[in-house]
Amino acid sequence: MRGMILEEIPRESREVLLWAFDYGVDKEGFIINLEGKRVPSQENPTQGIHIDEVLLVPGSLEVLDGTPTAVSKYLREQVEPAD
């Protein structure tokens, strides 16, 4: 991957994308997997990722924290440096 475009999408669209990839949202707004368990935060695994703070990465749809630290880590690991 040589670059990435980040777009903000409405909450309803995020929920539809999550459902399309076998995730859901619980009553409190946390993302859950098929077993109904909250998807853990990469920054604090004892907490779940909230729909209002999620970063959805296209492809196989990775669900990440939308915090600057998590985004920066993902970019360092996934995006190839420009030549």
Work out the pLDDT band at 79, boundaries 50, 70, 90: low
- Domain span including residue 56: 11-78
Residue 15 lies in a domain: yes
Helices (H) and strands (E) in the chain, counts: 2, 4
Indicate the SS3 state at residue 70.
Answer: helix
Residue 83 lies in a domain: no
**Number of compact structural domains in the chain:** 1
pLDDT at position 77 over 80: no
Q: What is the pLDDT of residue 43?
A: 83
Q: Which residue has the higher pLDDT, 37 or 2?
A: 37
Q: What is the pLDDT of residue 82?
A: 56
Which amino acid would we find at residue 71? V
| Cα atoms in the Cβ-side hemisphere of radius 13 Å centred on 15 | 9
Average pLDDT of the chain, as a whole number? 81
Instruction: Let me know: does 49 contact 65? Beta carbons within 8 Å.
Output: yes
Residue 52 lies in a domain: yes
H-run or E-run covering 23? none
Q: Which residue has the higher pLDDT, 61 or 12?
A: 12
Instruction: Let me know: does 15 contact 51? Beta carbons within 8 Å.
Output: yes
